[in-house]
Amino acid sequence: MNSRRNFLQKITATAIAFQLPDLILASTDEADQQLYEGPILRVAIMGLGSYGTRVADAMQASKKAKLVAAISGTPSKLKDWQSKYNIPEKNCYNYETFDAIKDNPDIDAVYIITPNALHKDQAIRVANAGKHVICEKPMSINAKDGQAMIDACKKNNVKLLVGYRMHFEPKTLEIIRMRKDGELGKVLFFQGLCGFTIGNPTQWRLNKALAGGGAMMDIGIYAINGARYMIGEEPIWVTAQETKTNPEKFKTGVDETIQFQLGFPSGAVASCLSTYTMNNLDRFFLNAEKGFAELLPSTGYGPIKGRTNKGELNYPHVTHQTVQMDEMAGIILEGKQPIVPVDGEEGLKDLKIIDAIFLAVKTGKKVPLKL
């Protein structure tokens, strides 16, 4: 018992020092789960596909967030969710009727997990209903639409958060802490490799009208966002090159593989790869004057594995979406400030970079960035 107590004391002190998410320390012990008596964020999930289900399952372990409603265009999914997650029928809506959430006091926020091109209109409708918006990344398909979402949420005095689950991941946060504290020295280089071989050619992710692109709008955004929080600066230019080996599967406007490079004010550079045709690509590497940091895998559902020049990074794995929802509840209900932002302005920066990457591919030129 003493050894367990000592271990818990050490890990608690470490987490406080690093400002890591509360849930890193969470126990599955029922008594521990009952200790939290603060406000609960009551969430509706919009889009009941595979990732919506993953989030819903993860929320069953949340202390600060509770799934209370569902929005879908498929009646059978709504019936299944009513049974599986104990959602009352009055809290189930379709895409035509969900504006009625305005009159439902059970719902505080809506988590939008639908195809990218639908995010803008759906987020605006949720904001107009007076509910907080949580939107899966990318926030939308371009910066113009992203700005419209931000404006609508500001107008309605509701928060807009983006599903950047890695912003709460402990090994990621430890590398950020080391960089901030100067332990790595001046950052010189970042590499982000993100890709997998995509399957069904008829899925929405390969439909430009719904996805807004291809791999870049799905997996590539991890490298874009990762370059920014790992280096700790905003890029000032981008160059990019596209490779397409299967134009039948990856039609016009749907990128298969893009290599892109980012330049930062300090002189640091990032070299990144986004692809739908290569497996085993999930690696971040940061090189600096005094050391290095690596995450491999870097953005998968976990466990994330990390090491630096000082050794392996060891933190217990907690389901990312569970941590994300508890942390977002803290942001919305308690005004908590995350170490790495997850708000609409953060999402807009990534969209501006994506717009610039597509422009760089099209023109073959270095495109300046002003974020």
Residues assigned a catalytic role: 137, 222
- 280 φ/ψ sector (left φ>0, alpha ψ -120 to 50, else beta): left
**Which two three-digit tokens encode residue 156?**
């309605």
* 68 φ/ψ angles, rounded to the nearest 5 degrees: -125, -10
- Report the distance separating Cα 364 and Cα 251, nearest Å: 20
For helices 344-363 and 220-231, give the axis angle rounded to 10 degrees. Answer: 110
133, 122 contact by CB (below 8 A): no
- Report the distance separating Cα 137 and Cα 19, nearest Å: 24
Going by the DSSP 8-state scheme, the letter that residue 118 receives in this structure is G
Query: What does the buried/exposed string (b/e) look like for 61-93 if buried means 16 or more CB atoms within 10 Å of the residue's CB?
Result: bbbbbbbbbbbbeeeebbeebeeebebeeebbb
99, 127 contact by CB (below 8 A): no
Q: Return all residues near 134 (Cβ < 8 A) that are at least 6 apart.
A: 43, 109, 110, 111, 112, 161, 162, 163, 328
β strands within the chain, DSSP E:
41-46, 65-71, 92-93, 109-112, 132-135, 160-162, 187-197, 237-243, 257-263, 269-275, 277-288, 292-295, 306-308, 311-313, 367-368
What is the number of helices (H) and of strands (E) in the chain? 11, 15
